[in-house]
Amino acid sequence: MATTRIFDRDTLLDLVVNGVPLFIILFFFAAFVVFAPFGFDPMANVMQYVLLGWIFVALAVLTYLSAKAIAGDEKRAEEVYPPGQATVSGVEPLEEHEE
C-alpha cells in the first residue's frame, strides 16, 4: 500500500483557491506595516493588524484541515465516479481501488 502525503500535487492544486487569499492578506499586512499609508494611530493600527492576522490564521488552519480531508478521502476512496454520478444507478466507475 502506497503512503499518501498530505500535500501532494493534486491536493495543492485543489488548495490554490485558498492560497491566493492567503497571499493577498499577507501582502496587505506587510504593506501596512512597511508603508503605514494612514499614519500611525496605536489603536487603529492594532485593530487593523488583529483583523488581518486572525483572518490569515483562520484561513491557514482551514486550508490545512482541507488538505487533510482531501488527502484522507483520496486514501480511502474505493471507486471514482464521474462528477455527480456516484449515486446514479448503472454508472460504471472511472477507477477502482487498488490494494
Give the DSSP letter of residue 61. Answer: H
Residue linked to cell 486550508? 63
The structural domains of the chain, with segments of one domain joined by +, span 1-74
DSSP code string of 5-59:
-TT-HHHHHHTHHHHHHHHHHHHHHHHHHHH-TT---HHHHHHHHHHHHHHHHHH
pTM > 0.75: yes or no: no
486514501: which residue's cell? Answer: 75
pLDDT of residue 3: 54
Read off the pLDDT of residues 27-81 as tens digits, 9 standing for 90 and up.
Answer: 999 998 898 887 888 898 899 899 999 999 999 999 988 888 877 766 665 677 7
pLDDT digit string (tens) for 16-28? 888 999 999 999 9
| C-alpha distance from residue 74 to each of 8, 34, 52, 62, 84 (Å) | 11, 42, 33, 18, 17
DSSP assignment of 84-96 equals: T-TTSTTPPPSEE
